[in-house]
Structures are given as C-alpha cells and as structure tokens.
C-alpha cells in the first residue's frame, strides 16, 4: 500500500499504534548523489504483523509527524538492517533518532563470523532460506515519480522479510548469550553524536600513509575540516568543495605551508567565496596552534609486529567465539587502541571480549602463547592463550 496523503497516513499510523505492536520493521529509500551532502529521503517502509505500507516522503504537503510519533514510541522497537544510513535520512527530516532500535546486521554479526559487514539478502537467505532479487531496483532513481511496480515490490519486500527476521535473531542472541552485548551496542548506535559528523574528525576519512611528517598530517586535518564545514553549510557533496584525492595529494607534493595550500585550493575549487578561503586560514592556524601545544603526531610508539600479532589473535578469537571480527574492531581501530588514539576497545563488551587481554599484554603483565592446531576436518588453525608473565 502506497501512502501519499496526510489523511491516509494519519489513519494507518493510528491503526498501528492502536494494535500496540512490540516491534515493527522499518526501511527507507533515499538519494545521496554526487551533488548534495545530506541524504534526500524518498520512501519510508513499515511492516507489522500481516500489514505493510510505504509512505511517499516526497509529497510536498504530507505531514510526516505521524511517522515521527511512531519512531519515538518507546514501547515499539524499530527493526532495521544496517541502520546507520536509514537513521541519517530520517534524522534530516525528524531532527531526532528513532528509539529503541534493533539492527539485524549487528545481531547477525554477534551470532556468526563473517569476513565483512553482512548484507540484508545474505542474512535473509541464511536464516530464512529465501533468495531475494536485490538487483532489479537496487540502483533505481527514487526521486522519480511515479514509482514503478518493481520499485514498490523491492521496497515492501525489504520490510516484510525484516519483520520475520527479528524474532529469529532475538532467539539466536539469547541462545548465544549475546543479548546484553547487543543491547549495549544498540544504545551506542543511537547516540546522536555519531551522526553529527564533526568537521574536526573529517580527516579520518582521507586515505593516506600515516607514516609521514606530522606537519603534512596537519595539512590534511585542516583541509578536510574546511571541506566538511563547507559541505555541511551549503549542502554540497564533499568532492564538490575539493576532491579527496587532491587532499591526499598534498602529502605527495609535500605541501605544508598555508600559502601553498591556499594556492592549491584556489586552483582546485570553484565558486568558493573569499570568506570561505579566509575561513580556511583560521582553521589551519587553529590546528597549527593545537599541534604546537601538544605533540600531535600519529607516528607510532609501538613495534608494528605488535599490531600484526594482535590482529591475528583477534581474528582467531572471533572465529572461535563465532562473532564477526569487524564488529569487535577494524584494523584502524586496533591501531588506534594500541597507539592511544582511541579507547573503543577498552570499554563495554569489547573490553570484556578482547580489550582486557590487550591491556594486560601492552602493560607487559601478561603474554600471548600462540600455537597451530589441527581441526576435526584437518584444517590448521591458530590457537592463542593469555598467560601471566613470570618475573624472576
């Protein structure tokens, strides 16, 4: 059912609330193209019980506050798959985050070792035995009207199977004694600070070799902060301000002085106001002051082999515990934990699972013993044990 009037939306939302469902499945379709910064919400799909509907969010006069009321209803769990982008698109409209939520991608990764973040169709196939056709409308233009039957089928099928998946994964989490960890992760996911995209953290998205002169990293920090600030202000795609490749190229060209950077910015940007360029100078000067006050360097204070060893041990532990490695820590996050740049691994369930062992190891109060073992099907695996250091 496609809802494109306020009266229809009010009726169906009131009917939903009256039924007092404990959970609903939610998905969105949106456009995030190469021109704009913020996602443009197109559709909101909801399924509960045997009823599913699609809301056309692009209808100019439609009052979406009825959906917002459901999204903020604390008695209804909102079930998403890989919720981050859905939350971002809803946040642009409602200015708040749906709560409480249940992310089936995260739930599945707590219950199984996957090499990467697991897609929706693969989870549905694994747990429900249903092969979804995700190709037909995957790259659709969700801003075009009228919507095709293929688009509507694609949109509604996502939430229909998502609704059924919820209970399956709830049971799986309980079986694996992971519900507490999962709930902790859900509380973290709905922290609005994760969706504000602070310009000061924008440099972390840029791909470059960290083992360079810290002055060059200062350049990347300042330019990427400026890029993010303008992208948010003008709702422009970041690369329309300045391409990420140009930012990374400052490293290769050894550009570290503000005048040199300004010359490059003028050559590589279009329609940028003089006031925006002046703002870059202020941002650069602030970053430089901070860098001079503290040894703001990303150069490592640890042996690189430590990272390699801990990475192998973490992967082995995740396989043994049937939990996805990327859910625990990416390689960059592990690097940050070792070098003191981030404490994510040393908080909450991650600390219980692996962080405590890493902390003990880095403090030299314990050591890892690693051995190769043969599994039942004759596959060689790594086995690790943390043991106390015996001081003589």
Q: Domains along the chain? A: 2-195 (3.30.420.10), 199-293 (1.10.150), 304-388 (1.10.150)
Those residues with Cβ within 8 angstroms of residue 198's Cβ, 6 or more apart along the chain or in another chain: none
Q: What is the pLDDT of residue 135?
A: 58
Q: How far apart are CA 321 and CA 110, in angstroms?
A: 9
Cβ atoms of 218 and 132 within 8 Å: the answer is: no
Q: What is the pLDDT of residue 333?
A: 86
H-state helical runs in the chain: 6-19, 65-71, 84-94, 104-111, 120-128, 149-175, 179-189, 214-234, 238-241, 244-252, 258-268, 274-293, 304-321, 325-328, 331-339, 348-350, 356-362
The two structure tokens encoding residue 174: 């309980």
Phi-psi region of 378 (alpha: psi -120 to 50; beta: other; left: phi over 0): left
Those residues with Cβ within 8 angstroms of residue 118's Cβ, 6 or more apart along the chain or in another chain: 105, 108, 109, 112, 324
Question: Tell me: the pLDDT tens digits for 161-191?
Answer: 999 999 999 999 999 999 999 999 999 999 9
3-state SS class at 74 = coil
Q: How far apart are CA 54 and CA 4, in angstroms?
A: 9
Q: What is the pLDDT of residue 215?
A: 81
Q: What is the mean pLDDT of the chain?
A: 89
> What is the separation, in whole angstroms, between the first and last Cα of the chain?
74
Cβ atoms of 64 and 90 within 8 Å: the answer is: no
User: Which one, of 155, 145, 141, lies nearest residue 52 by Cα?
Assistant: 155
The two structure tokens encoding residue 148: 């095709």
3-state SS class at 102 = strand
Whether omega before 146 lies within 30 degrees of 0, making that bond cis, reads yes
Those residues with Cβ within 8 angstroms of residue 341's Cβ, 6 or more apart along the chain or in another chain: 298, 335
Q: How large is the average pLDDT for residues 212-228?
A: 88
Spell out the SS3 assignment of 195-217: HCCCHHHHHHHCCCCCCCCHHHH
Q: What is the pLDDT of residue 32?
A: 86
Q: How large is the average pLDDT for residues 89-112?
A: 97
Other beta carbons less than 10 A from residue 39's beta carbon: 19
Q: What is the pLDDT of residue 50?
A: 84
Helices 120-128 and 149-175, interaxial angle, to 10°? 60
Token pair 């599994």 in the structure block, residue: 375
The listed range with the strongest mean pLDDT (121-135, 286-300, 319-333) is 319-333
In this predicted structure, the answer to whether residue 296 has a pLDDT above a threshold of 60 is no
Report pTM.
Answer: 0.88
Q: How large is the average pLDDT for residues 88-103?
A: 96
Beta bridge partners of 387: 367
Range from 83-87, 115-119, 374-378 carrying the lowest mean pLDDT = 374-378
Q: How confident is the model at residue 103 (pLDDT cuts 50, 70, 90)?
A: very high
Q: Is 50 exposed, middle or buried (0-12, 13-18, 19+ CB in 10 A)?
A: exposed
Question: Tell me: the pLDDT tens digits for 28-81?
Answer: 999 988 899 999 999 999 999 889 999 999 999 999 999 999 999 999 999 999
Q: What is the pLDDT of residue 134?
A: 64
User: Which one, of 259, 363, 213, lies nearest residue 302 by Cα?
Assistant: 363
The two structure tokens encoding residue 343: 């404490």
In this predicted structure, the answer to whether residue 295 has a pLDDT above a threshold of 70 is no
Q: What is the pLDDT of residue 213?
A: 75
Q: How confident is the model at residue 294 (pLDDT cuts 50, 70, 90)?
A: low
User: Which one, of 117, 107, 122, 123, lies nearest residue 185 by Cα?
Assistant: 107
């Amino acid at each position: 059912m496609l809802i494109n009037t306020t009266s229809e939306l009010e009726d169906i939302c009131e009917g939903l609330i009256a039924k007092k469902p404990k959970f609903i499945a939610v998905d969105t379709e949106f456009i995030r193209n190469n021109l704009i910064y913020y996602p443009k919400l197109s559709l909101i799909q909801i399924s509960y019980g045997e009823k599913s509907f699609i809301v056309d969010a692009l209808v100019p006069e439609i009052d979406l506050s009825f959906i917002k009321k459901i999204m903020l209803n604390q008695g209804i769990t909102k079930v998403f798959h890989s919720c981050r982008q859905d939350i971002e698109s809803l946040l642009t409209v409602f200015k708040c985050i749906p709560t409480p939520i249940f992310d089936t991608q995260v739930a599945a990764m707590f219950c199984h070792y996957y090499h990467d973040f697991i897609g929706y169709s693969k989870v549905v196939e694994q747990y429900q035995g249903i092969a979804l056709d995700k190709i037909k409308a995957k790259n659709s233009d969700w801003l075009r009207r009228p919507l095709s039957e293929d688009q509507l089928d694609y949109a509604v099928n996502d939430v229909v199977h998502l609704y059924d998946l919820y209970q399956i994964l709830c049971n799986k989490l309980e079986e694996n004694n992971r519900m507490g960890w999962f709930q902790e992760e859900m509380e973290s996911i709905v922290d609005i600070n994760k969706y504000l995209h602070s310009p000061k953290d924008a440099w972390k998205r840029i791909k470059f070799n960290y083992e360079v002169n810290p002055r060059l990293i200062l350049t990347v920090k300042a330019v990427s902060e400026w890029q993010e600030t303008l992208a948010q202000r003008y709702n422009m795609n970041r690369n329309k301000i300045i391409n990420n490749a140009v930012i990374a190229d400052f490293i290769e060209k050894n550009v570290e002085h503000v005048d040199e950077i300004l010359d490059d910015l003028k050559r590589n940007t279009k329609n940028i106001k003089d006031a925006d360029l002046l703002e870059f100078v202020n941002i650069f000067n602030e970053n430089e002051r901070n860098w001079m006050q503290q040894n703001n360097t990303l150069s490592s204070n640890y042996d690189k082999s430590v990272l390699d060893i801990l990475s192998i041990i973490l992967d082995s532990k995740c396989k043994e515990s049937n939990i996805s490695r990327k859910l625990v820590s990416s390689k960059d996050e592990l690097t940050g934990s070792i070098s003191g740049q981030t404490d994510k691994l040393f908080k909450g369930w991650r600390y219980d699972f692996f962080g405590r062992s890493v902390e003990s190891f880095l403090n030299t109060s314990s050591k890892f013993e690693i051995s190769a073992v043969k599994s039942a099907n004759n596959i060689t695996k790594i086995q690790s044990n943390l043991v106390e250091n015996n001081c003589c």
